[in-house]
Amino acid sequence: MNLNTLPKIELHTHLEGAAPPEFIRRLAQEKHMDLSGVFDDAGNYAFDNFLHFLKVYEAATAVLQTPEDYHRLTLAVLEKSAANGVIYTENFVSPDFCGGGDLGAWKEYVHAMQDASDMAEKSHGIVLKGIVTPIRHFEVGKAKEVAHCAVETFGDWVVGFGIGGDEGAGKFSDFAYAYDMAREAGMHLTAHAGEFAGAQSVRSAIRDLGVSRIGHGVRAIEDMSVVEELVERDVVLEVCPGSNIALGLFPNWEDHPIARLRDAGVKVTVSTDDPPFFHTTMNDEYNNLARAFSWGEDVFKEINITAANAAFCDDATRKMLLEKLE
């Protein structure tokens, strides 16, 4: 069984978090920017825990300053994804990082990312869509600005809205207004929950924000009534096992709850989150899951069909993806 050539659908990656370290170093060199503290001696991103990860992430992201930088980033990221068999991917993109929340600037960044994704579709046959992400540990007021940027660019490429960042900062109800703006515009909704916060955060994302998908959500396993709620409401989890293991949520692949959630009837999908930060790729995820749970190609096919059906894309794209998975 060669999982590396299997066509894959990925629903949860942060665009900046997928930046190859050599790409960030090169940009820093070109701009004469100091990135001490970002890399270890081997040249990999270095951090001790989740909050430190967010700091290192922001330090690395600081070298990305123009739409042209994001154009290059998008091409570099999609090339790596395509090399892992990914045929469709949704990336979290942030108006806070792209133009500081200014709508005019954000539109230029979206144009650049969309142009790069058109180029990658032609050269590598991979489709990218954007999910606008408010960063939870930035000021709460910022989320409304971000929602405004999201709504004004919602269309063929910007398709979803999904909060990320430190799950310890604020409550979901603080962001309900921003989510209402996105929902009323017709955007698809997801939220990071049940990663560093417990099962109740998953319930709150479903009830207070009305999301159809959850980023991670794996700690739902701590409360079977939340697992049942996921099943009843048909909520899809964007599970990133390698990320969870790298950040110490679970000690190893065998103890990761993805298989137990799936066995309980929860719709699970597989993604990399921030692949170079967590020393993973889609091929690594698939090969590790196959080894840990004796999953065969049939399970991965089912997971990819789930992902295609849960993708925030238009129906023509979904139909094309489902045909490619057959």
> Which are the catalytic amino acids?
195
Among 273, 278, 286, 308, contact with Zn ion (rule: CB under 5 A): 273
Q: Which does 129 bind (CB under 5 to 8 A by kind): ligand ES4, Zn ion, none?
A: none
CB closest to ligand ES4, residue no: 164
User: Which stretches of 168-294 are assigned E, i.e. beta strand?
Assistant: 188-193, 213-216, 236-239, 267-270
Bridge partners, residue 130, by sequence: 91, 158
Among 10, 69, 274, 285, contact with ligand ES4 (rule: CB under 6 A): 274
Edge-to-edge strands of the sheet including 236-239? 8-14, 86-93, 127-132, 158-163, 188-193, 213-216, 236-239, 267-270
8 counts as binding ligand ES4 under rule CB under 6 A: no
Contacts of 194 (CB under 8 A, 6+ apart): 201, 202, 205, 214, 216, 217, 218, 219, 220
Q: Which does 242 bind (CB under 5 to 8 A by kind): ligand ES4, Zn ion, none?
A: none
17 counts as binding ligand ES4 under rule CB under 6 A: yes
Bridge partners, residue 215, by sequence: 192, 238
Count the alpha carbons within 13 Å of 85 in the hemisphere toward its beta carbon: 21
Reduce the DSSP state of residue 88 to 3 states and report it: strand
242 counts as binding ligand ES4 under rule CB under 6 A: no
Contact string (CB under 6 A) for ligand ES4, positions 189-218, x = contact:
---x--------------------------
Task: Tell me the number of residues near Zn ion by CB under 5 A.
Answer: 1
Interface positions with ligand ES4 (CB under 6 A): 14, 17, 57, 135, 164-165, 192, 274
Interface positions with Zn ion (CB under 5 A): 273
